[in-house]
Amino acid sequence: MSKFIVIMGVAGCGKSSLGAALASAEGLPLVEGDDFHGAANRAKMSQGIALTDADREGWLDILGQQLQAHPLGLVLTCSSLKRSYRDQLRKARPELRFVFLEISRDEAQARVVARSATHFFSTSLVDSQFATLESPVGEPGVLRVDARHPVAQLQAQASAWLNNEAFA
C-alpha cells in the first residue's frame, strides 16, 4: 500500500530531520517543502515578513503536484499550519496522513535561532507561526508527537503508526 505522509509543524520543530529519517526507514522519496518556495516568498521570510494565504497558495499547489507525481508514496515536509492548507494537500491525495511535531514556542525559538546562519527563515517569524497554527489534533489521519524526543524515537513512533494494519 502506498504511503503519503506530511511532516508538519511550526518552524524549528524538526520537520526536515524527521522527514529524512522516516523516508529512509520507509523506503520512500522525501520532498522538502521549503525547496519549492519561490524567490519572493523566501525574500519575505528572510526579511521577517510572514507569508499570507495568497503567498502560500501557489506553493501548496506545487506541493500537491509533488504528491500526485509520486504514485508509490512520499514523505513531504510542510508546515501545514492551517486546516485549509492541509485540506488543499488532501485534495491531491485523499489518503494523506500528517505527523504533527508539537513543540513549545520557546523551544521552537531556540531551534530557529540555532540554525539562523544556515536557513533563510527569520527568527522574528516564530511568533507568527504560532499565531497561524490551527492544531490538527482531532482531524482524521493525524499523529501528534512530541518534537523534543530524539529523531530515532519519533521515526519509530511514526513508522509504527503508518504500518498499523488497523489504521490502513
Domain residue spans in the chain?
A: 3-162
Asked if the 3-162 domain carries CATH number 3.40.50.300, the reply is yes
d(CA 156, CA 138): 22
Please report the pLDDT score of residue 167 as a whole number. 47
32: which strand partners?
77
Question: Quick one: pLDDT band at residue 128, thresholds 50, 70, 90?
Answer: confident
pLDDT digits (tens, 9 = 90+) for 75-86: 999 999 999 999
In terms of Cβ atoms closer than 10 Å to its own Cβ (0-12, 13-18, 19+), residue 1 is exposed
Mean pLDDT of all residues belonging to the chain? 88
Question: Quick one: pLDDT band at residue 125, thresholds 50, 70, 90?
Answer: confident
Higher pLDDT, 37 or 58: 58
Question: Quick one: pLDDT band at residue 137, thresholds 50, 70, 90?
Answer: very high
C-alpha cell at 78: 510542510
pLDDT digits (tens, 9 = 90+) for 4-34: 999 999 988 999 999 999 999 999 999 999 8
pTM: 0.88
